Amino acid sequence: MGKIKIKKNTVQETLIVPLYGRKMCSEKFPELYTDIFAKNLCDRLDYDFSELEKKNRSFLYEFGSLEAAMRQLDIMWEIKEYLKMHPKAAIVNLGCGLDETGKACDNGSCKIVNVDFPDVIEVRNQLISNYERERNIASDLKDYSWMKEIDGSNGVIFFAAGVFHYFKRDEVKDLVLELSKRYAGGCLVFDSVGKLGLKLMISKTLKNMGIKDVEGLFYINNPKKDLSWSSKIKVGSKGYMLGYCDMKKPGIGFSHRLLARIGDNMIKMSINKMEFA
């Protein structure tokens, strides 16, 4: 089977950094995190990983891989908790990229739905085989027609990992309010950073997409205040790096945990849960 080419400076390229980060974290910190899919996917991509491999040796990039891993572990914890109460629920991955969190949380009876741009889903379809209860939807998240294909009758948990940074604040709000109207009893889990964190992202990922200013983009400095959009939505939030795990595992030192604390407290890295009444 031939490799799938990923072009530079495209939406598809944004899939690579978190994927490679999960692969790297699995290799360096296996007692904290294991991703059985990431290495196989990286091996099947026609992409120049040389720059990422050089960064692999730096402490800061190593910490970046921990960020990608912790975000996935946190979201998986929330999904599994929801499935305990709603075992036949739909797990909906918003802006799925090449992420297989749905499979990692599969309980044998839930449904898995992955939503992303058509060009991303095209790559995903070539690289990843779906489970029997899994399907992919090619759609812009801002075009709400994809919601018509989501059955929330047995419960539904939506999640977005590393996605809303690219949205305007009002776009996230409108999306959340629409979900809350359609899916009572469902919930949404997503990560966020504060304004400082978004400015740091501008110098890297966002700049490659032609985004040069954070004004209007989605960030959260105070989750309960900034997400108070409806009396019918219950908001909860935890630190991204240390809110779910103390990270006291082999290979993870004091410096890692210090940066994790800075990330949670100063950069406002959070995992947010919005439950729809």
Q: In this predicted model, what pLDDT tens digit does every residue of 219-237 receive, in sequence order?
A: 999 998 999 999 999 999 9
What is the average per-residue pLDDT within 58-78?
88
Which stretch of 35-44, 48-57, 60-69, 72-81 has the lowest confidence by average pLDDT? 48-57
Helix (H, G, I), strand (E, B) or coil at 33: coil
Q: How long a stretch of residues is the chain?
A: 277
Answer for the pair 228, 11: CB distance below 8 angstroms, yes or no. no
Residue predicted with more confidence, 271 or 126: 271
Q: Give the end-to-end CA distance of the chain in Å, rounded to a whole number.
A: 47
Question: Is the predicted pLDDT of residue 207 greater than 90, yes or no?
Answer: no
Confidence of residue 62 (pLDDT cuts 50, 70, 90): confident
Instruction: Please state, in angstroms and as integers, the Cα–Cα distance from residue 38 to each residue in 24, 25, 122, 131, 257, following that order.
Output: 9, 10, 18, 17, 24
Domain spanning 4-276, CATH class: alpha beta
pLDDT score recorded for residue 7: 77
Beta strands (DSSP E) in 193-259 are 233-239
Helix (H, G, I), strand (E, B) or coil at 130: coil
Q: In this predicted model, what pLDDT tens digit does every residue of 128-147 receive, in sequence order?
A: 999 999 999 999 999 999 99
